[in-house]
Chain A
Amino acid sequence: MIMSRILAIATKEIRQLRRDRLTFGMIVGIPLLQMLLFGYAINFDVRGLSAGVVDEARTSMSRALVADMQASGVVRVREYAASVGDLRRSLRAGEVSIGVYIPADFERRRLVGNRPLAQLLVDGSEPTIENIARAFVAMPLPARAGIYGTGQQVFEVRTEYNPEKRTSVQIVPALIGVILTMTMTMFTAVAIVRERERGNLELLITTPASPLELMLGKLVPYVFIGLIQTTLVLLLGVLLFHVPINGSLWAFYLAALLFIAATLTLGLIASTLAETQMQAFQMSIFVLLPSILLSGFVFPFDGMPQVARWIAQLLPLTHFVELVRGIVLRGAGLAELQIPIYKLLAFTAVALTVVTLRFHKRLD
């Protein structure tokens, strides 16, 4: 193994990367996009849900109710329908996502207080909207003196639905892992498969460069790219979602480095299997999906069957999520997180061995 050769391959790779606008754009674009999508979609109230209203009561109180709903920002009234039938049609057509029906006896219900004041009609085919609507029912309308009864304690329900900032704090550090799984696997797999597709590999394998030199040379630039992405997501997390970093930054970067190495070798394995760049893309998705679902990123391990937990153990993301949550959120030191560290190291070593054995300097 000769260092200068690895360096030569790394230099070549960086030069090519600098000229490859698409990949270059993805280095920054994917983390940015994922961060915003995941961050906001998971963590904040859905706003501006389009609503239709049927107000049969037509009292100042009923109008105040609708106005207050709008004021909450969760719904935006798009139309006033004449009847419940019209409202249903609009719902079915997808023109509105939620319907508000205020019955003619609204005033009486308010005074008696033993029945709900109004009805919400919801498109049941959209589970998320249904959830939001249910939460909306429980959501407190800003109290005005004397208008509504004070008996309705709905704050608990709202907190249950939107657990304020806890989720984003949990999600963002692990999201670094998801983004790296996606980009690192894809970039390396594509980088090698592209050379095969373009015929460069046929030349490369007739040179004295050994498979290990070729592989390491290819990986070096992506290690740096991975670290850049890590930094980017962490910065966004701190700035946009106020993620606190309770542990040491050094420990965090060490964990990131270990994880980057593991995902890069995973990409290399994909590259030895894929024939075309398209297949390399597909394989990286194939890795990404179980990583998101099984790593503990979104769903807790407790609910998973044993088989899923075993599979999760094989995914580098599982161990990174454990590491990063430990370091960033609980402020744990590396000494307390030895097990996931060793698991990541073992993964990298095994994967690199597999790749070097699989990658032979032949065309057959």
Chain B
Amino acid sequence: MSVRSASGPAISARDLTRRFGKLVAVDHVSLDIPRATIYGFLGPNGSGKSTTIRMLCGLLRPSEGECTVLGHPVPREAEQLRMKIGYMTQRFSLWEDLTVQENLDFIGRIFGLDGQVRAARIAERLRQYHLEDRREQRAGTMSGGQKQRLALAAATLHEPELLLLDEPTSAVDPQSRRDFWESLFELVDRGTTILVSTHYMDEAERCHGLAILDRGRLVAEGSPRQLMDAIDAVVIEIEADDVRAARHAIDGQEYVKSVAQLGNRLHALLDPQRRDPEGSIRALLEQQGVQGKVERVRASLEDVFVAATRFSADDDAAPGGRAVA
């Protein structure tokens, strides 16, 4: 396939908004997703990931704003897109009472693949996704990982230019998740653009580009590396014998934005405006007579996520959109 030649971003959205009644599920999201990359939507449940993906493939109409997918304005030209995109729903949506072979055969026919091409393509996918032994097994009796491989096989059967994956690994064990991501990179190597939503940090870290969504809004965007470098917080770790006392000592300070315990350490995000943040923390601990080691560490993606979502949550007290997942 390899359709690198086409110019412009694979997906481009401007002020994309979706309301369900009073609820704002997606709130003025603008983004550009370059071709042949893996782009991730990272966000908690209800942050608008699924709704955005559904708008991009024409399943939902935007309340406001516009988007262009592979050069087609959506939803107006959504039908022209059908052959070019593959969509994997959050919930397994192939037929549980059909076998692996029957499911793929059906999808192949629906996408208009002719007999020989279809047979060859199905054989290829079965091999690629290690489903050859399960050919005659009913989809409903397979494990989460197997179902997900089948869903990916079905979504890529017609060799789409763009794959939209809505939380593809939510019901899958870690090893299957690793294998799954390997297959995604293989697809990208061949020119496919992939948009994937997730709430796993390790998956988000594998993406070329990342958008962090929180209650319908895009709160941070960039490559994982860029996001970690540009974090709007100072990250420190405190190692103490009495971790709970240490926590008690620093809790309640307005410049301490978030504290999490990791074994016998505390991981804290501090306001970057604060002068000498490490010194301030040391002083606090001394005041309370807690022995501890304080050091500044590199921000992880999780820190970025916490900083982007929780801080902005503090900014506006009004409860925003809890979207339908």
Beyond A198-B93, A203-B87, A206-B82, 15 extra complex contacts between A and B, CB < 8 Å: A8-B106, A12-B98, A15-B102, A16-B95, A19-B97, A199-B91, A202-B89, A202-B91, A206-B57, A206-B85, A207-B111, A208-B83, A208-B112, A362-B61, A363-B59
Cβ–Cβ contact B82 & A208, under 8 A = yes
Residue from B75, B79, B95 having most chain A Cβ neighbours under 10 A:
B95
Q: Could you say which residues of chain A place their CB within 8 Å of the CB of B117?
A: none
- Asked if residues A207 and B93 are in contact (CB atoms below 8 Å), the reply is no
The answer to whether B89 touches A199, judged by C-beta atoms less than 8 angstroms apart, is yes
Interface pair B93/A199, CB less than 8 Å apart = yes
**C-alpha spacing A363/B106, complex, angstroms:** 22
Q: Cβ of A16: which chain B residues have Cβ within 8 Å of it?
A: 95, 97-98
Contact A5 B110 (CB under 8 A): yes
Q: Chain B interface secondary structure, helix, strand, loop or mixed? A: loop
Collect the chain B residues with CB atoms within 8 Å of residue A209's CB: 110
Closest to A5 in B: B110
For the complex, give the distance between the alpha carbons of A8 and B94 in Å: 15
Known interface pairs A4-B109, A199-B89, A199-B91. Does A12 touch B59 (Cβ–Cβ under 8 Å)? no
- For residue B138, give the distance in angstroms from its CB to the closest CB of chain A: 8
In the complex, A30 has a CB within 8 A of chain B: no
Per CB-CB distance, the 3 closest pairs between chain A and chain B, nearest first, are A8-B109, A203-B93, A208-B82
Q: Whole-angstrom distance between the alpha carbons of A16 and B89 in the complex?
A: 21
Mask: chain A, 285-307; 1 = CB below 8 Å from B; 0 = not: 00000000000000000000000
A118 vs chain B, min Cβ distance (A): 64
Q: Give the chain B neighbours of A200 by CB distance below 8 A.
A: 93-95
Query: In angstroms, how far is the closest chain B Cβ from the Cβ of A104?
Result: 72
9 A-B pairs within 8 Å (CB atoms) are namely: A8-B110, A11-B106, A198-B93, A199-B89, A202-B93, A205-B59, A207-B82, A208-B79, A363-B59
Q: How far is the CA of A4 from the CA of B110 in the complex (A)?
A: 8
B172 contacts partner chain A, Cβ-Cβ < 8 Å? no
Say how far B112's CB is from chain A's closest CB, in angstroms.
7
Q: Which residues of chain A come closer than 8 Å to B209, judged between CB atoms?
A: none
Which A residues touch B54, using CB under 8 A?
Answer: 363
**Within 8 Å CB of A12, what residues of B?**
95, 98, 102, 106
The smallest beta-carbon distance between A13 and chain B, in angstroms, is 10
- Residues 147-197 of B at the A interface (beta carbon under 8 Å): none
Is residue A143 contacting chain B, with contact meaning CB distance below 8 A?
A: no
Considering the chains assembled together, what is the distance between the CA atoms of A200 and B97 in angstroms? 12
| Cα distance A3–B78 in the bound complex, in angstroms | 22
The interface bits of chain A over 311-331 (1 if a CB of B lies within 8 angstroms of the residue's CB, else 0) are 000000000000000000000
A200 to B110, CA, bound (A): 14
Separation of A16 and B98 alpha carbons in the complex (Å) = 7
Please report the C-alpha to C-alpha distance between residue A199 and residue B57 in the assembled complex, in whole angstroms.
16
* B87-A206 in contact (CB<8A): yes
CB of A239 within 8 Å of the partner chain:
no
**Would A203 and B111 be within 8 Å (CB), given that A15-B102, A362-B58 are in contact?**
no
Taken together as a complex, chains A and B put the C-alpha atoms of A11 and B109 apart, in Å, by 11
Chain B: minimal CB distance from A19 (Å): 5
**A-facing residues in B55-71 (Cβ within 8 Å):** 57-61
Residues of B participating in the A interface, judged by any CB pair closer than 8 Å:
54, 57-61, 75, 78-79, 82-83, 85, 87, 89, 91-98, 102, 106-107, 109-112
- The answer for the CA separation of A204 and B95 in the assembled complex, in Å, is 11
A20 within 8 A of partner (CB): yes
- Point out the residues of chain B lying under 8 angstroms from A4, CB to CB: 109, 112
The answer to whether B87 and A364 touch across the interface, beta carbons within 8 angstroms, is: no
B-binding residues in A (CB < 8 A):
2, 4-5, 7-9, 11-12, 15-16, 19-20, 198-200, 202-209, 361-364
Interface contact A198-B109, CB-CB below 8 Å: no
Write the nearest CB–CB distance from A18 to chain B, whole angstroms.
9
Shortest distance between the CB of A11 and any CB in chain B (Å): 8
Contacting residues, chain B, for A20 (C-beta < 8 A): 97
Q: How far is the CB of A5 from chain B (nearest CB, A)?
A: 6
Distance of A138 from chain B, by nearest CB (Å):
58
Is the CB–CB distance between B94 and A2 below 8 Å?
no
Choose among B85, B92, B109 the residue that contacts A199 (Cβ–Cβ < 8 A).
Answer: B92
Closest to B85 in A: A206
Cross-chain contact A362 with B110 (CB below 8 angstroms): no
Q: Which of A2, A19, A202, A362 contacts B112 (CB 8 A)?
A: A2
Give the CA-CA distance A9 to B112 in the complex, in Å.
Answer: 12
Tell me whether A5 and B112 are in contact (CB under 8 A).
yes
Q: How far is the CB of B190 from chain A (nearest CB, A)?
A: 21
Closest to B96 in A: A198
Residues of B within 8 A of A205 (CB): 59
Which of A8, A15, A203 is most buried by chain B, counting CB atoms within 10 A of its CB?
A203
Contacts of B79 in A (CB 8 A): 208, 361
**Chain A residues within 8 Å of B110, by CB:** 5, 8-9, 204, 207-209
Q: Kindly list chain B residues whose C-beta atoms are within 8 Å of the C-beta of A5.
A: 109-110, 112
Residues on A with beta carbons closer than 8 Å to the beta carbon of B61:
362, 364
In the assembly, what is the distance between CA of A16 and CA of B99, in Å? 10
- The residue among B59, B78, B109, B110 with the most chain A CB atoms within 10 A of its own CB is B110
The residues of A that contact B89 with a CB separation of less than 8 Å are 199, 202-203
Residues in A whose Cβ lies below 8 Å from that of B93: 198-200, 202-203
Complex contacts, B83 vs chain A, CB 8 Å: 208
Tell me, in angstroms, the Cα distance from A112 to B83 when the chains sit together.
96
Q: Measured between alpha carbons, how far is A361 from B82 in the docked complex, in Å?
A: 11
Contacts of B57 in A (CB 8 A): 206
A-side contacts of B98, CB under 8 Å? 12, 15-16
Cα-based distance from A199 to B87 in the complex (angstroms):
13
When chains A and B are docked, how far (Å) is the Cα of A7 from the Cα of B112? Answer: 12
A14 smallest CB distance to B (angstroms)? 11
Smallest Cβ distance from A359 to chain B, in angstroms? 14
User: Which residues of B sit under 8 angstroms from A364, Cβ to Cβ?
Assistant: 59-61
A214 (CB) vs chain B CBs: closest residue = B110
Provide the residues of chain B in CB contact with A204, threshold 8 Å.
Answer: 110
B111/A206 in contact, CB under 8 A: no
Residues of A within 8 A of B85 (CB): 206
Min CB–CB distance A9 → chain B (angstroms) = 8
Closest Cβ–Cβ distance, residue B310 to chain A (whole Å): 31
- A208 lies within 8 A of B111 (CB): yes
Partner of B107, one of A11, A15, A207, A362: A207
Does the CB pair A362–B60 fall under 8 Å?
yes
